Structure 1
């Protein structure tokens, strides 16, 4: 008897997706931590990401928004991005049939990360008035991680049968949500920094 009908197919694509977005987000967060340490050592030092009057990591990381919980925000990224890396490896190893609470809890964490970077985006663009390249990279990884994984998770039936039907319907178009989210950021930047492209 063939085992293909009884053995669930491993979600390799989702595993690779979480692994890649998690690793890139981890790299960006760690780079920000290194820049933070460099700033502590020499507060007047210009960082490698301080490239123009608009694109300036120093201005962002020295703001109160950059230390929302009393310590540098990138430390949250260094800790948080370990989770999708671990889950991605787990999916690639074939352990996709864990308990429902685990997937809901992980999705909740991804959602909170998306809420946090959305808030940071509004603060960076509309309040602080500077752009941070490493922050942009973190945002660009967190946004697809939230939308694509959440819709995929719903399609797996982990939020109930009703949302499973919705998830399966939306899954082929999940990247449309990502592109729409990106578009909001790009349009906001162009509104607030009309000359930003000329400085990059």
Structure 2
């Protein structure tokens, strides 16, 4: 069986992105629990009507599969961080495992982009902790799927596109 061809940069992105995403998902889960306990609770990430986790946490999009989305993040990011750590040790994982990880990254980045669309065009608010999740999913997906030497440019371009969409949708952010 051939090993999954993966470089150290990919392993580092998986570990770092997995850990950062895990922290963001955990904080979102804690905030959601606090909101469930006390509906008048104002999450720490609710800064103003536009940058507001609280308004997003109260929508159907925050529980797509019938439970809070951050629970998916806690599980998924923990797995990705572990995979990154294992790869950094120099371990060679089978190619089927690599395809499984890439499949998970693809599903994750597709789900995140659906959530980006929902935030921008349906809900009309941005969640700072959710945006951390958006920010880590993109390089993990790019590095997981591509071995191009231009991966960082792909990630940068992708970020710039999302920033442009945010600024077009919420031009008041420029004046904040």
TM-score interval, normalised by the smaller of the two chains: over 0.9
Matched, 1:143 2:135: no
- Unpaired runs of 5+ residues, structure 1, are 1-9, 153-170
Query: What corresponds to 1:21 in structure 2?
Result: 17
For residue 49 of structure 1, what is the aligned residue in structure 2?
A: 45
Tell me, yes or no, if the aligned pair for 2:13 and 2:139 is still in contact at 8 Å: no
Question: What is the distance in 1 between the residues matched to 2:156 and 2:11?
Answer: 21
Cα deviation per residue 1:49-68 (whole Å; 9 max; x = unaligned)?
11012000011111111110
Within 5 Å, give how 1:29-44 maps onto structure 2.
29-44=25-40
1:29 Cα shift?
0.3
Q: TM-score when scaled to structure 1? A: 0.82
**Structure 1 position 138, deviation (Å):** 0.3
* Unmatched 5+ stretches in structure 2: 1-5
- RMSD, aligned α-carbons: 1.5
Does 2:72 align with 1:76? yes
Give the structure-2-normalised TM-score. Answer: 0.92
Aligned match of 2:60: 64
Of structures 1 and 2, the one with the larger relative CO (CA 8 A, separation 6+) is 2
The number of equivalent residue pairs is 172
Query: For 2:173 and 2:20, how far apart are their aligned partners in 1?
Result: 24
Q: How does 1:181-192 map to 2 (within 5 A)?
A: 181-192=158-169
Residue 195 of structure 1 aligns to a residue in which SS? helix
Offset of 1:14 from its aligned partner?
Answer: 2.7
Residue-by-residue CA offset, 1:35-94 (whole Å, 9 max, x unaligned): 001101111111111101200001111111111001110100001001211111111121
Query: Rg bigger for which structure?
Result: 1
